[in-house]
Amino acid sequence: MFLVKECPSCGRGLRFPIDRGKIRVRCVCGHQFIADPDDTALYRNARFDLKHKPAASGRRRLDLAGRLKSIDPAKIWEASVRGLLSVKYTLQNFRLLPAARQRRIVLIAVIVILALALLGRLLCSSGAATDGGAVYI
């Protein structure tokens, strides 16, 4: 349940829950006070907000089937093409970019190259350890 009370400083309506015990209520003007639901003075010149529904508490159920139905492959394709065109445009105008963005792009490129080299090394290496021309099994 919520209570709506005017700010004593600016007169703006403040809505706050009264079912959570003592809480600190702050107005945008900077004024703050402690709202104690057990204090009867809190309810003077205030009204209850009965129409407001609080957010559902607890965990949401994962509706995987509903989410899969809402996936639109055309939108995914369009977003990926738009992203690739954005990358192409950025690389074409590399010289015109600010220095910080150029450094970030070079760092990303180096990380991608190192990751591909490591992946290639792991995939192309045999299970046997080699030392020069000798093979140890």
In a domain, 11, yes or no: yes
The confidence score (pLDDT) of residue 121 equals: 92
Containing H/E element for 75? helix 73-92
* pLDDT tens-digit readout, 63-98: 777 777 888 889 999 999 999 999 999 999 999 989
pLDDT in tens, the chain (137 residues): 788 988 888 888 888 888 888 899 899 998 888 888 888 888 888 888 877 665 655 566 677 777 778 888 899 999 999 999 999 999 999 999 899 999 999 999 999 999 999 999 999 886 655 556 666 66
The confidence score (pLDDT) of residue 51 equals: 76
Q: Which domain holds residue 21?
A: 2-49
Task: Quote the number of domains for the chain.
Answer: 1
CB under 8 Å, gap of 24 or more: what pairs does 3-10 form?
A: 3/35, 3/42, 3/43, 3/46, 3/47, 3/48, 3/49, 4/46, 4/47, 4/48, 4/49, 5/35, 5/42, 5/45, 5/46, 6/45, 6/46, 7/31, 8/33
What integer best gives the mean pLDDT of the chain?
84
In a domain, 9, yes or no: yes
% of residues, the chain, pLDDT over 90: 36
The confidence score (pLDDT) of residue 133 equals: 60
